[in-house]
């Protein structure tokens, strides 16, 4: 056998959705398409405390685009988190972090964590906190860059 690969206990999460949000019309279209999805607003607002909490759907996505400029909306797994990032590198970083979390939880596609008996642990809590912290840093840094560019 030429290649020897270790079997992965649980399949890694796959990128379920990726949309380019490059204009107000794209924000409206993509926001209308996904705005009603579970956790859409909660996930995107969680790392953006500067946004009004009542925003949802297309209005939320357009507010993010106005604050951070163009980017990508991604759903990191079928049951995973929604993120808005500026580039493919950020998608890759967050996908890796989420994959580590899913692997630690023993999740495969379709698994729902504690609903299937996965107990919260210090490790899982730390991995989840790291994921959201990095997501928040990406959002805040891009917001700062875009604000500086508009002023400059």
pLDDT at 114: 46
Spatial separation of the C-alpha atoms in residues 151 and 144, rounded to whole Å: 11
Residue 99 counted as domain residue: yes
Q: Could you tell me if residue 4 is inside a domain? A: no
Is 101 a member of any domain? yes
Positive or negative CA dihedral for 24, 27, 30, 34?
negative
Give the chain's domain count: 1
In a domain, 138, yes or no: yes
Identify whether 5 is part of a domain: no
Give me the pLDDT at residue 119, please. 64
In a domain, 91, yes or no: yes
Averaged in consecutive runs of 10 residues, what is the pLDDT profile of the chain (152 residues)? 51 84 97 96 98 96 97 95 97 95 70 51 93 98 96 85
Range of the domain at 74: 17-110+118-151
**Residue 2 located in a structural domain:** no
pLDDT, residue 110, reads 43
Residue 88: its pLDDT value, please?
Answer: 94
- The rounded distance, in Å, linking the Cα atoms of 135 and 151 is 25
> Per-residue b/e over 50-87, b at no fewer than 16 CB within 10 Å?
ebeeebbbbbbbbbbbebbbebbbbbbbebbbbbbbbe
The distance in angstroms from the start CA to the end CA of the chain is 59
CA pair distance 21, 61, nearest whole angstrom: 9
| Residue 55 belongs to some domain of the structure | yes
């Amino acid at each position: 056998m030429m290649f020897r690969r270790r079997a992965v206990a649980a399949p890694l999460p796959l990128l379920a959705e990726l949309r380019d949000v490059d204009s107000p019309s794209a924000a409206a279209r993509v926001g209308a398409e996904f705005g009603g999805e579970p956790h859409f607003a909660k996930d995107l607002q969680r790392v953006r405390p500067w946004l009004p909490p009542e925003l949802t759907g297309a209005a939320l996505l357009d507010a993010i685009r106005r604050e951070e400029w163009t980017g990508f909306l991604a759903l990191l797994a079928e049951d995973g988190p929604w993120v808005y990032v500026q580039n493919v590198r950020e998608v890759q970083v967050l996908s890796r972090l989420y994959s580590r979390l899913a692997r630690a939880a023993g999740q495969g596609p379709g698994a729902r964590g504690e609903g299937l008996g996965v107990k919260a642990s210090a490790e899982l809590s730390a991995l989840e906190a790291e994921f959201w912290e990095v997501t928040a840093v990406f959002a805040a840094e891009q917001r700062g860059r875009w604000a500086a560019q508009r002023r400059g």
